[in-house]
Structure 1
């Protein structure tokens, strides 16, 4: 009897839905993350004959992988933006200072990570464009897989609109939001997925023909500055308009938020992303900015929890699907092209490059730990270490290799997949005990 790959895909989708219901509950009380379980299940399926007819070649099905992972990251960015309780007022210096760890991780740790991975790629024999591409693909921390070290959903009862400097111990967010470690990792993951795009385009620009100065001007002026500004501006505008429409208008027709319409979050996601991409901005940044602005429109409205919960369910489904697929692909030989140098790059990123870059970024003229946005020495170490790599890296690689034609594509896939698996396992095992210890220290200081 012949079983088609499409039929098997339906089976995997069904299994994914079942797992989406039971896995988070099963692993809730143990020091192991859902992604580890899903990868292990996928690997077992991949080693079994059940999945022999599935389309598992990453190169052949690159476009499908690109769009599925793109949707997963978009859902995660919208969820993260809605979950952050701490206000961000761009014209308020005090508010900006409470986000100090975020700016440091984005401006210092992320470029250093790109440079570190790219340098190892060059030593291993990659061309400059491919080395930069590998560094860019592995640069963003992942909002999809880092839930164990991030804030939970929006705390709409705690008076989240209170400025962080003025907030008492029971104001400005729940326990998870008051954790500076969780806040730093969450806000970083929300922004650096969009900011990885300029580095990806740096690789594409390096591979293009033309003079060095003209390519540099194109990258700095268009890809690094203009597209970032357009993405953020579009997200803020869409979030502001939707917030006005759904939260502040008196018309019964437009106050859909009061009747609990969580599809508002999906509408905001699609509108901001589509508008930013049409206007040549970075859609990932637009979605995060839109979510933050929508949350600020009426910060403590209970509808934010409804929106976040719906987005979280969609995110979970897409994440589990991607992880199962990755695990099955591993069982079918995805790491067959992995070399010792590719494995060394992954190990170096997880254990050396990211922790060192994060430590440098957070330790230079640090903000006092007693102030909002300040971190103790132990907290700086935790933030520096927990730079989870995941679904975003798969998206960026799939996106870029669709443009760049290379003979080492299989090696790139194997290296990125190895790094993701390593990060999921290492960070997933350590997240629960480390965060318990850090948060116990935070409670003791209060």
Structure 2
């Protein structure tokens, strides 16, 4: 049997099935991520001729595939946010990427290092890997297509957070790498260089270049293309081209490409908020993302069959469960304290910080850059947390978001107003 043809056939069926997922999710409340992970388990259990879905063995493939999915997702995420950017309008997601993310990194690192016996670099890496809310698997809790109506605060906050913190977690991934390779005599120098290069320069260059490239692309597409008969830039695939160009250029100067792509997409959208072309751009990026997600989730299901959870111990499992149900929600609620949000909105934002493909990328990237002790354990707990998130969030998110929308669409009673 030709394995290549089998793989192409499986991908074809997976992508075809993704076309039915939106209506399936609307009727059942079950996310497509749940369906495809289960299908991946079934396919890899039945067809033993498929290559082992082992992210440690195929580390380069893992890095590049997950990186591509995140880049495409970040472009689509920025394009669909209807709320104009300002520090006031975006104050909630800024709280999430600062207070919540730092609390999550600190709490996970402390527990992993102080109680589970992981080395300090491995513990910090685990915190950095788990901190970002995933922009890829969080479609069920994010805002809809551009100009689809005013989005509620919960969906907006989770969408903007997912777009911003995938890049903001990178400095702490590099911190773990620096500590893993640093000699004792050079730790101070290495940490100073980390602060200058990885913490300041790479973030600043990602923001500045992302803004500049986003403005340039918006001018070329929305101004020059429409006024010139010789230049035609009105195809939706420009979204993917733009994402790859921005990511590549910023990475070439050693900035954070993830930050740049999201900043560029938000800048592009804000250039002319109500332009209909945003719908075409988002539609194409969304379709591309769904194709890639179908493949990645099948492979993730296959990795469960291949034994990615074999190194999971009871203490690691306890940390994983504690992260999903305690650390992230509590960190979110602390960040949102003092805001005018209703308690139900705060709970929704705090609980639905979905983990997934972005975490796989950061972990694979770091393990490719340096040797970390407990690498197998890191893969097991990361995969277990992603699995919990897929199942728990994937089975409840749709209904929870619908319930919140109905609750706040109806006029609040006197008792409800008293709760705020």
Query: What range describes the TM-score normalised by the shorter chain of this pair?
Result: over 0.9
1:436 aligned to 398, 402, 405, which one? 402
What does the per-residue CA deviation read over 1:202-247, in whole Å, with 9 as the maximum and x for residues that have no partner? 1011112243321221122111111001001111111111111111
Alignment partners' CA distance in 2, 1:300 and 1:31 = 31
Task: Supply the distance in 2 between the matched residues of 1:51 and 1:120 (Cα, whole angstroms).
Answer: 38
What residue is the counterpart of 1:389 in the other structure?
355
The alignment of Structure 1 onto Structure 2 pairs a total of residues equal to 408
Please list, as runs of the form range in 1=range in 2, the aligned pairs for 1:185-204 lying within 5 A after superposition.
Answer: 185-204=158-177
1:408–1:24: structure 2 CA closer, same or farther, 3 Å change rule?
A: same
Q: Which consecutive unaligned segments of at least 5 residues does structure 1 have?
A: 89-94, 156-172, 369-374
Q: CA deviation at 1:407?
A: 4.8
1:151 Cα deviation from its structure 2 partner: 0.1
With the length of structure 1 as denominator, give the TM-score of the two structures: 0.88
Alignment of 1:61-140 (within 5 A): 61-88=58-85, 95-122=86-113, 123-140=115-132
Aligned partners of 1:407, 1:264: CA distance in 2, in Å?
42
Shift of 1:149: 0.7
Q: What are structure 2's unaligned runs of at least 5 residues? A: 413-420
Alignment map for 1:3-402 (pairs within 5 Å) = 3-4=2-3, 6-48=4-46, 50-88=47-85, 95-122=86-113, 123-155=115-147, 174-175=149-150, 177=151, 179-210=152-183, 211-249=186-224, 251-253=227-229, 256-257=232-233, 260-363=234-337, 365-366=338-339, 368=340, 375-402=341-368
Distance 1:17 1:11 in 2: 10
Q: For each residue in 1:320-366, what CA deviation from the matched residue of structure 2 results, as whole angstroms up to 9, or x when unmatched?
A: 11100010121232212211122112101100000000000001x32
Task: State whether residues 246 and 255 of structure 1, in contact with CA within 8 Å, keep that contact through their aligned partners in structure 2.
Answer: no
Question: How many angstroms apart in 1 are the aligned matches of 2:153 and 2:69?
Answer: 26
What's the TM-score, normalizing by structure 2? Answer: 0.93
Summarize deviations over 1:275-317 as a string: whole Å, max 9, x none. 1101111000000011111112222111110010000011001
- Quick check: 1:8–1:51 contact (8 Å CA) kept in 2? no
* Preserved contact between residue 245 and residue 254 of structure 1 (Cα < 8 Å): no
1:409-434: per-residue Cα shift (whole Å, max 9, x none)? 22211111110010111111221222
Partner SS state of residue 331, structure 1: helix
Residue aligning to 1:161: none
Return the alpha-carbon distance in structure 2 between the equivalents of residues 381 and 69 of structure 1.
29
Q: Is the 8 A contact 2:122 2:373 kept in 1?
A: no
- What corresponds to 2:418 in structure 1? none
CA distance in 2, matches of 1:135, 1:9: 35
2:122–2:374 contact (8 Å) kept in structure 1: no
| Aligned equivalents of 1:328, 1:133: Cα separation in 2 | 25
Check conservation: 1:8, 1:54, Cα contact below 8 A. no
**Distance (whole Å) between structure 1 residues aligned to residue 110 and residue 8 of structure 2:** 42
Q: Residue 391 of structure 2: which of 395, 410, 425 is its match?
A: 425
Q: What is the rounded CA distance, in whole Å, between the counterparts of 1:271 and 1:341 in structure 2?
A: 43
After the TM superposition, which parts of structure 1 deviate over 6 Å for at least 4 consecutive aligned residues? none
Q: Does the CA contact (< 8 Å) of 1:42 and 1:326 recur in 2?
A: yes
SS at match of 2:26: coil
Which whole-Å CA distance do the structure 2 matches of 1:253 and 1:413 have between them? 53
Is 1:413–2:379 an aligned residue pair? yes
Paired with 2:384 and 2:127, the residues of 1 have a C-alpha distance of: 14
d(CA) in 2 for partners of 1:112, 1:7? 47
* 3-state SS of 2:117 partner: coil
Aligned-partner Cα distance in 2 for 1:254–1:275: 26
Per the TM alignment, residue 27 of structure 1 is displaced from its structure 2 partner at its CA by: 2.5
